[in-house]
Amino acid sequence: MSDNVLFFGLGSMGTGMAHSLRRAGFRVNAFTNKPEVRQAFIDAGGESADLAAFAPEAAAVVIAVVNAAQTEDILFGKTGLAECLPAGCVVIACPTIDPADARRFEADCEARGLLYLDAPISGGALKADAGALSFMASGRPEAFAAAQPFLDAMAASVFNMGERAGAGSVMKAVNQMLAGVHVAMTSEAMAFGMAQGLPPDRVLEVVSQSAGTSWMFENRAPRLIEEDFVPAHASLTIWPKDLGIILGICEQLGLAAPITQAALDRYQQAIDEGRAHEDDASLVKTYLGEAGLDRPDREGSS
């Protein structure tokens, strides 16, 4: 096998992943719908060959786009990549998608002699940069074996969830469901404390040492306190997408998920208020605004 990696999607996660692969010695050819972003990656040491020339030599394809539709488009749609890849090439699919889509992509790849790894990621942009993501992966043992050197370059840990595609996506969905509710609860609880006069930095200090804490609370509360709402990390729009996939699955299963639904409704409310472009910690503004409050802890804050 060659050292050639085809990479799709140079967003906040993908950029760090592609550079991690490059630093590990792989020849990485990264594609995106923004020509200047592709050029910057080439300038930093990425490959510049055309897709048609590069694909037949690829040992792996890493897909870091945002959803199942884009993944399908790359593999089987207008890009038609699956027809150009060599037999035994492994497709490492990282977006958060419906497990049913993952199973379908696996079947369609296998029908063309390709290996498929259902490999959603967790960890954020900083860990992507550091090659220290978590992968919640499932797929055939041959797919794991072929993907291993590439995962080694991008991951601190790889959780093997089972021998067929789908289980990785289910695991990611479970984690995302908890994460999405905890982010929203960070704003709900902080607004509750602020509305009664508690300084939010003090609330962070106490909660982080108490039974109410969560990974997301400790991660998002500092941004909320500082009103640092540039979406460098996670924009509000991620959650209606991911929680929407999860609630769609719940409906098929006949499983109630009213807490997840309540969180999704809150994110949608913030987006309806025109704040889709903001960091998800800005959800607190929805709560305070509804109560006619304006950061009680900050005089003259706008």
Q: What residues act catalytically?
A: 172
User: Phi, psi (5° rounding) for residue 230?
Assistant: -65, 130
Instruction: Give yes or no for residue 238 binding a copy of itself (CB under 8 A).
Output: no
Measured distance CA(207)–CA(10) in Å, rounded: 36
Instruction: Give yes or no for residue 161 binding a copy of itself (CB under 8 A).
Output: yes
CB neighbour class for 13 (10 Å; exposed up to 12, middle 13-18, buried from 19): buried
Q: Exactly one of 219, 244, 276, 295 binds a copy of itself (CB under 8 A); which one?
A: 219
Amino acid at 127: K
Q: Which two tokens stand for residue 161?
A: 């969830």
* DSSP helix/strand/coil, 121: strand
- For a copy of itself, which is the closer residue by CB, 88 or 248? 248
- For a copy of itself, which is the closer residue by CB, 84 or 198? 198
Site for a copy of itself in 64-103 (CB under 8 A): 99
Q: Exactly one of 17, 62, 189, 243 binds a copy of itself (CB under 8 A); which one?
A: 189
Instruction: Give yes or no for residue 60 binding a copy of itself (CB under 8 A).
Output: no
Say if strands 121-122 and 27-31 run parallel, antiparallel, or are unpaired.
Answer: unpaired
* DSSP helix/strand/coil, 271: helix
Q: Exactly one of 44, 290, 294, 298 binds a copy of itself (CB under 8 A); which one?
A: 290
Measured distance CA(180)–CA(267) in Å, rounded: 9
Instruction: Give yes or no for residue 203 binding a copy of itself (CB under 8 A).
Output: yes
Q: How far is the CB of 221 from a copy of itself (least distance, A)?
A: 11
Q: Exactly one of 30, 63, 263, 284 binds a copy of itself (CB under 8 A); which one?
A: 263
Q: Exactly one of 52, 87, 111, 255 binds a copy of itself (CB under 8 A); which one?
A: 255
CB neighbour class for 72 (10 Å; exposed up to 12, middle 13-18, buried from 19): middle
Taken as a whole, the chain contains a residue count of 302
Residues near a copy of itself, by CB under 8 A: 99, 122-124, 134, 136, 157, 159, 161, 167, 170-171, 173-179, 181-182, 184-185, 188-193, 195-198, 202-203, 205-207, 209-217, 219, 246, 249-250, 253-263, 265-266, 287, 290-292
